[in-house]
C-alpha cells in the first residue's frame, strides 16, 4: 500500500473533512485551530478556536461544527511524538462551536446538555434530518474518571440532549449508510457498540443493562480506539492507538481488517477523492495528514461539500 504524506508539522491533527475541491479541513488540538490543507500541502488557518478542538463536521448550512474538549490535555514530547498529558488546572469544560467558513467567525452553540455541563466533546456526525450526534469523552483525573454518554443536538442551538448513558470514554461516532444504526467507539475498552435508531435523536434500547446497545466488536490486546468513519459498504473504520492504523470492522462484526500506518497515534479517517476511494488519516503523534487507497468506496456524509 502506498501512503502519501500530504502535510506535516501539524499540532496533533484530528477531525479531517475532505472537501469536493480537494482540500481537507481538520482541527489541530494542541494548536487550537481549524486548519485547511490544500492539495499542494499548504496550510491555512481557517479559525482560531481556542481550547481543544477535537472533531469537525459540515452542517446543513455549510458551516463547520466543532467538538471542543475545552483544552483538557497538557502536551508531552515522548521520543519525538506529541502525547496527550494530564488535565491542566485551566480546564473548565467543553463546548460545541460553529465556524463560518467564509469569514472564520466562531460562535459557541452549546456548553450544556440535558445532563448538565458538557465535559469534553470529542466527535460528531450529522444525520439526514439536520441534527447531529456527538460523544462526550469526559476526562480522567489521577483517581477518578467521568462517566459520560452520547448526545443529540440541533444545528440551530435549540436542543441538546443526552440520549445514551453510560459509556466509558466514548470517542468516535458514525452512522450506517442507510441511517438505521448509530456506531460509537470506547477508547480505553477497545470496543465498538451500535444502536438501532427509531427516529431523529431516538435510539432503541434493546438491552436492559449498560448502555442499551449491541457490541459490534472488541479488539484483543492493548489497542485503544479513537474516532471513526463508515464506508459505503457499512464497514466501521476506526483510528487505532498503540497498534497504530485504521481498524475496519464489517457490519456484522465477523470480519476485522487492520491497515497499519507509521504512527502509534492514528486518531481518525475520512473519505474523499474520485469515487470516494481515497482515505485521509490523521497521524497525530507525528503531526501528519496522509492519504492512501481504500479497498471500498467511502460513505459520502450528509451535507458534505
Instruction: Give pLDDT, residue 237.
Output: 99
Q: Average the pLDDT over 4-18 and give the result.
A: 98
Phi and psi at 187, nearest 5°, equal: -65, -60
What is the sign of the dihedral through the CA atoms of 174, 178, 179 and 182?
negative
pLDDT, the chain, mean: 97
Residue 54 · residue 123 · CB < 8 Å: yes
The pLDDT of 194-223, averaged and rounded, is: 95
Per-residue pLDDT of 252-281, as tens digits, reads: 999 999 999 999 999 999 999 999 999 999
- The pLDDT confidence band at residue 304, using thresholds 50, 70 and 90, is confident
Quote the DSSP letter at residue 231: B
Rounded distance, CA 171 to CA 30, Å? 17
Confidence of residue 206 (pLDDT cuts 50, 70, 90): confident
Q: Which domains does the chain have, with CATH numbers?
A: 4-221 (2.120.10.30)
- How far, in whole angstroms, is CA 163 from its chain's centroid? 18
pTM for the full predicted model: 0.98
Across the range 194-204, mean pLDDT stands at 97
pLDDT of residue 305: 67
Q: Answer whether 171's CB lies under 8 Å from 185's CB.
A: yes
Give me the percent of the chain exceeding a pLDDT of 90: 97
pLDDT for 210 beyond 70: yes
The C-alpha cell that represents 219 in the structure block: 479488539
**Residues in a beta bridge with 271:** 279
For residue 208, pLDDT beyond 90: no
Distance, in Å, from the CA atom of 47 to the CA atom of 41, rounded to the nearest integer, reads 18
Residue 122: helix, strand or coil by DSSP? strand
Length, in residues, of the chain: 305
Segment 155-164, tens digit of pLDDT: 999 999 999 9
Asked whether 265 and 283 are in contact (CB, 8 A), the reply is yes
Amino acid at each position: 500500500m502506498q501512503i502519501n504524506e500530504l502535510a506535516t508539522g501539524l499540532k496533533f491533527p484530528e477531525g479531517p473533512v475532505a472537501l469536493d475541491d480537494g482540500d481537507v479541513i481538520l482541527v489541530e488540538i494542541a494548536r487550537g485551530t481549524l486548519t485547511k490543507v490544500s492539495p499542494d500541502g499548504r496550510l491555512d488557518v481557517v479559525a482560531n478556536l481556542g481550547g481543544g478542538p477535537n472533531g469537525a463536521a459540515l452542517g446543513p448550512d455549510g458551516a463547520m461544527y466543532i467538538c471542543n474538549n475545552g483544552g483538557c490535555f497538557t502536551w508531552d514530547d515522548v521520543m519525538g511524538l506529541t502525547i496527550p498529558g494530564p488535565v491542566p488546572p485551566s480546564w473548565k469544560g467543553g463546548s460545541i462551536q460553529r465556524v463560518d467558513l467564509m469569514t472564520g467567525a466562531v460562535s459557541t452553540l452549546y456548553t450544556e446538555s440535558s445532563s448538565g455541563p458538557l465535559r469534553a466533546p470529542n466527535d460528531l456526525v450529522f444525520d439526514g434530518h439536520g441534527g447531529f450526534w456527538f460523544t462526550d469523552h469526559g476526562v480522567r483525573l489521577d483517581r477518578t474518571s467521568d462517566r459520560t454518554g452520547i448526545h443529540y443536538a440541533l444545528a440551530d442551538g435549540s436542543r441538546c440532549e443526552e440520549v445514551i448513558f453510560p459509556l466509558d470514554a466514548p470517542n468516535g461516532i458514525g452512522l450506517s449508510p442507510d441511517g438505521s444504526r448509530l456506531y460509537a467507539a470506547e477508547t480505553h475498552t477497545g470496543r465498538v457498540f451500535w444502536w438501532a435508531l427509531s427516529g431523529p435523536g431516538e435510539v432503541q434500547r434493546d438491552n436492559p443493562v449498560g448502555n442499551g446497545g449491541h457490541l459490534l466488536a472488541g479488539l484483543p490486546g492493548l489497542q485503544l480506539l479513537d474516532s471513526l468513519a463508515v464506508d459505503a459498504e457499512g464497514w466501521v473504520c476506526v483510528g487505532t492507538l498503540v497498534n497504530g492504523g485504521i481498524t475496519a470492522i464489517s457490519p456484522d462484526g465477523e470480519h476485522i481488517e487492520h491497515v497499519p500506518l507509521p504512527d502509534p497515534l492514528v486518531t481518525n479517517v475520512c473519505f474523499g477523492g474520485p469515487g470516494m476511494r481515497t482515505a485521509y488519516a490523521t497521524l497525530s503523534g507525528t503531526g501528519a495528514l496522509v492519504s492512501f487507497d481504500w479497498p471500498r468506496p467511502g460513505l459520502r456524509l450528509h451535507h458534505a461539500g
